[in-house]
Amino acid sequence: MKATKIFGIVLAGGEGKRLMPLTEDRAKPAVPFGGHYRLIDFALSNLINSGLTQLVVLTQYKSHSLDRHVSQTWHVSGGLFNSYIASVPAQQRLGKRWFSGSADAILQSLNLIHDEKPDYVVVVGADHVYRMDFSQMLDAHIASGAMATVAAIRQPIQLADQFGVIAVDAASPDRISEFTEKPTDAVGLADAPHEVFASMGNYIFNADALIDAVRRDGDRPDSSHDMGGDIIPDFVSRGEAGVYDLKRNEVPGSTDRDRYYWRDVGTIDSFFEAHQDLISALPVFNLYNQGWPIFSQQLNSPPAKFVRDGAGALGTTIDSIVSLGCVISGAHVERSVLGPWTAVDSGARVVDSIVFDRVQIHSGARVNRAILDKDVVVEVGASIGMDRGRDLARGFSVTDSGITVVGKGVHVQP
């Protein structure tokens, strides 16, 4: 009996403008998250944990660090079983042009599907934080008879204008009757009028149907060539699109607190809030679930160290994540995430902040509600996030909610 063959595509070519300056020198899926992870690690971990072993990552925008991370971290030996995770850049196979959208990325990469000849194709984004077993979604997709299935998470109806919203057929609640981007007049679900189905940006397709859909889309001059904006509505118009409620998905090791967690970290504010979800004693998203691990590169680094400073003052670290290689010396760190090889010196205070790798925060410095990219140096007595006007005058980015972002390699003077 022929085994069902599954092929996975991770869409990782997005520019990530709303995460600037964190994406000034790297692709959005390569942005560090939660200490030593990268955003793409969550999508790849979910696919690998789900049993998918033939995966490609379609890249385009400033992809060097992303390509390097995939090649160094996600090396899967092919052996007899032809298992691999391959980073595939835009190749201009259909002319001298780059990807013009996520659907066009697949259209220009159809050779990958033709080579493997899968029965089904799983297509996911590379910049969401969540856990999901795609094998359960695949079983539901096959049983439904749909040509395309969209993973959906229930969200409060007042947030409908932030998502692609799915309306279901009353007679067939697993079929999509309408797919609307960011509606202002959304109607609640029949079993929960205060909720809507929001698309998670994860899809499963019958392979032949996906090939046909992206080819037809490529011939439409008025299309934006987007998976959510064009391809899924095309399937909906033909009655061939199904919905998969994340609440049907049972991930090993999940808790009542984090079982159905999903967050799009496409803005600085949502990126910051997602980190806050990690650090409580009972986290909203639990990185410590050994039943469904999130994999990443394990640096050859010593453990984190917490020491008294030269005067014998004892530092404190509260409700925080501290990565390998960090040294906290007589400083105070609270509700923060520190990336690998960060040093925080005597008398410094880091509160409500996200610090990437190899950052130096010297004596007496103050960092409050800030994101510091890699290799930032905060000089003795300097402050960040204490005075909005001063931060803006120094060229730092500050969100409306007051989060200051300092770009890669900046030296912050007192």
Q: 314 with 259, same domain?
A: no
In a domain, residue 284? The reply is: no
The answer on pLDDT for 1 being more than 50 is no
What domain range is 105 assigned to?
A: 6-275
Read off the CATH number of the domain in which 156 is found: 3.90.550.10
Is residue 321 assigned to a domain?
A: yes
Quick: pLDDT tens for 213-250: 999 998 888 888 989 889 999 999 999 999 999 999 99
Specify whether 182 is located in the same domain as 258. Answer: yes
Q: What is the mean pLDDT of residues 354-366?
A: 97
Per-residue pLDDT, averaged over 121-145, amounts to 95
Q: Is residue 290 part of a domain?
A: no
Looking at residues 183-204, what average pLDDT do you find?
A: 90
| Whether residue 317 sits in one domain with residue 203 | no
Has residue 196 been placed in a domain? yes
Residue 286 located in a structural domain: no
Same domain, 362 and 217: no
pLDDT above 80 (res 100): no
242 appears as a binding residue in the annotation: no
- The answer on whether 395 is annotated among ligand-binding residues is no
Residues 6+ apart with CB under 8 A from 139: none
Whether residue 129 contacts residue 265, with contact meaning beta carbons closer than 8 Å, is answered with: yes
Extract the tokens encoding 14.
Answer: 């997005």
Q: Is residue 299 assigned to a domain?
A: no
Q: Give the least confident one: 75-84, 136-145, 156-165, 379-388.
A: 75-84
Phi-psi region of 325 (alpha: psi -120 to 50; beta: other; left: phi over 0): left
Looking at residue 172, its pLDDT comes to: 80
Would you say 334 is a known binding-site residue? no
Domain end (from 275, 294, 319): 275
Mean per-residue pLDDT over the chain, rounded: 91
Number of domains in the chain: 2
Same domain flag for 190 and 335: no
In whole angstroms, what is the distance from residue 274 CA to residue 39 CA? Answer: 11
pLDDT at 15: 75
Query: Tens digit of pLDDT for each residue in 272-310?
Result: 999 999 998 888 999 999 999 999 987 789 999 999 887
Last residue of a domain, one of 235, 254, 275: 275
Q: What percent of the chain has pLDDT over 90?
A: 69
364 is in an annotated binding site: no
Portion of the chain with pLDDT greater than 70, in percent: 97
In this predicted structure, what is the pLDDT of residue 187?
A: 87
- Residue 147 in tokens: 């040509």
Per the CB < 8 A criterion, the answer to whether 292 and 251 are in contact is: yes
Q: Give yes or no for residue 261 having a pLDDT over 80.
A: yes
Q: Are 407 and 373 in contact (CB under 8 A)?
A: yes
Residues 259 and 345 in one domain: no
Residues 379 and 259 occupy one common structural domain: no
Is the pTM here over 0.75, yes or no?
Answer: yes
Which range, of 43-47, 65-69, 77-81, 388-392, averages the lowest pLDDT?
Answer: 77-81
Same domain, 92 and 192: yes
Instruction: Assign 112 to helix, strand or coil.
Output: helix
Is 8 in a helix, a strand, or coil?
A: strand
Same domain, 120 and 254: yes
* Cα distance between residue 400 and residue 412, in whole Å: 22
Strands (DSSP E) contained in 272-403 are: 305-307, 316-318, 321-322, 327-329, 332-334, 337-338, 343-344, 349-351, 354-355, 360-361, 366-368, 370-372, 377-378, 383-384, 397-398
Q: How confident is the model at residue 142 (pLDDT cuts 50, 70, 90)?
A: very high
- Looking up residue 382, the CATH number of its domain turns out to be 2.160.10.10
| Together in a domain, 233 and 314 | no
